[in-house]
């Protein structure tokens, strides 16, 4: 890569959905001139107005098909549950050679829900930029969100190599490291590194919400003792996460089963006063943290 901005990677990019990830990607595309035209589709006029106000779109529409027409790259940036209807809708409007990608946190579901609706000659390159914050909406995005994080591509075997390279190039320009793996493996890994942590955070915050009134106000007051970190994670978009759990059911239930067994073992150690067991579990956990720091993902 040279210091000079390269030619646009794409002529027209259509972003279907413009929340935290979509709007962050739009900012990267703008910053580096990666497309000649950004077409944004969203479900409400308010979101579209916001996208225009933030300078993230060259054209906006409530009709995903309009945005996708003549696009060289279409990126689905909505919750997973919307993929199938969107793919059904935009399929007929896609031009030959167009690339369809996404940013979702589950990848087998993309292949299941999107692939059948794409015309011959359109390339599906599912992608997952593993980055985020607890904030939602177009105003919460920022171009640096992806910097130094991993983007996982899960193209099916036999996918057009050039299409994969172009999606790869886009996320590299966003500052991401790229890994390619099959969709099933992706869904297993993310079940433990992302889906289960969110599920647990949502659950414990729910447990606190259900406390007797005399305890509940104090939970907020003294949340600096650790709880507030869980509330932050549990502030993520409910629709997005509902769709993640509904679409990665098997892998999440498998990891949840393992976690529950481990939690029962810890519970038993506390009840029996087995300090050595607790100390060993806690010490091992600390070691894994060192790995995260060493991998520069802290």
Site for a second copy in 5-34 (CB under 8 A): none
Residue corresponding to tokens 């239930």: 253
**Closer CB to a second copy, residue 4 or residue 284?**
284
Nearest approach in angstroms of CB 38 to a second copy is: 26
Least distance (Å) from a second copy to the CB of residue 177?
9
Comparing CA positions, the residue from 54, 32, 46, 224 lying closest to residue 147 is 32
Among the candidate windows 10-18, 114-122, 165-173, 289-297, which touches a second copy by CB under 8 A? 289-297
Structure tokens at 72: 């060289």
Provide the 10 A C-beta neighbour count for residue 270: 11
What are the tokens at 165?
């390279």
Task: Please pick, from the candidates 149, 160, 180, 182, the single residue that binds a second copy as defined by CB under 8 A.
Answer: 149
CA separation (Å) from 153 to 4, 198, 243? 27, 22, 20
Number of residues that bind a second copy (CB under 8 A): 93
Q: How far apart are CA 257 and CA 264, in angstroms?
A: 11
Q: Which is nearer to a second copy, 72 or 102 (CB)?
A: 102
Pick from 3, 7, 96, 298: which binds a second copy (CB under 8 A)?
Answer: 298
Please report, as residue ranges, which positions from 227 to 286 form the binding site for a second copy (by CB under 8 A): 227-236, 238-239, 241-243, 245-246, 249, 252-253, 255-256, 258-260, 262-263, 266-267, 270-271, 273, 275, 278-279, 281-286
CA 253 vs. chain centroid, Å, equals 19
* Shortest reach from residue 182's CB to a second copy, in Å: 12
Strand 35-41 relative to strand 99-102: parallel, antiparallel, unpaired?
unpaired
Q: Map the footprint of a second copy across residues 37-66, applying CB under 8 A.
A: none
- Closer to a second copy by CB, 60 or 130: give it: 130
- What minimum distance in Å lies between the beta carbon of 86 and a second copy? 18
Interaction pattern, residues 96-135, with a second copy; x per rule: CB under 8 A: ---------x------------------------xxx-x-
Can you tell me which of 139, 178, 179, 213 binds a second copy, judged by CB under 8 A?
A: 179
Q: Which is nearer to a second copy, 1 or 215 (CB)?
A: 215
Spatial CA neighbour of 163 closest among 130, 128, 109, 126: 126
CB 225 within 8 A of CB 214: no
Residue nearer to a second copy on the CB measure, 161 or 220:
220
DSSP conformation letters of 99-149: EEEE--S-SHHHHHHHGGGSPTTPEEE-EEE----S--SGGG--GGGGTT-
Distance (Å, whole) CA 256 – CA 239: 20
213 binds a second copy (CB under 8 A): no
């Amino acid at each position: 890569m040279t210091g000079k901005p390269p030619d646009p990677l794409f002529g027209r990019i259509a972003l279907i959905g413009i929340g935290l990830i979509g709007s962050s990607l739009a900012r990267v595309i703008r910053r580096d001139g990666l497309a000649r035209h950004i077409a944004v589709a969203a479900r409400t006029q308010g979101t579209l107005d916001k996208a225009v106000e933030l300078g993230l779109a060259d054209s906006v529409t409530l009709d995903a098909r309009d945005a996708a027409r003549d696009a060289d790259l279409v990126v689905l940036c909505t919750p997973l549950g919307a993929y199938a209807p969107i793919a059904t809708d935009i399929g007929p409007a896609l031009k030959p050679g167009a690339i369809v990608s996404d940013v979702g946190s589950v990848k087998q579901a993309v292949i299941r829900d999107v692939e059948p609706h794409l015309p011959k000659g359109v390339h599906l390159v599912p992608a997952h930029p593993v980055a985020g914050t607890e904030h939602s909406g177009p105003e919460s995005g920022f171009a640096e969100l992806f910097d130094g994080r991993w983007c996982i591509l899960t193209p099916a075997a036999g996918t057009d190599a050039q299409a994969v390279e172009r999606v790869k190039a886009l996320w590299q320009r966003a500052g991401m490291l790229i890994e390619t793996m099959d969709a099933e493996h992706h869904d297993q890994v993310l079940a433990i590194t992302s889906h289960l942590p969110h599920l647990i955070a949502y659950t414990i915050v729910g447990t606190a919400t259900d406390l007797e009134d005399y305890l509940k106000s104090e939970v907020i007051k003294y949340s600096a003792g650790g709880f507030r970190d869980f509330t932050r994670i549990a502030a993520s978009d409910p629709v997005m996460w509902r769709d993640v759990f509904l679409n990665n059911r098997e892998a999440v239930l498998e990891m949840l089963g393992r976690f529950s067994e481990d939690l029962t073992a810890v519970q038993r150690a506390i009840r029996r006063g087995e300090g050595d067991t607790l100390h060993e579990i806690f010490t091992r956990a600390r070691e894994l943290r060192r790995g995260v720091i060493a991998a520069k993902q802290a």
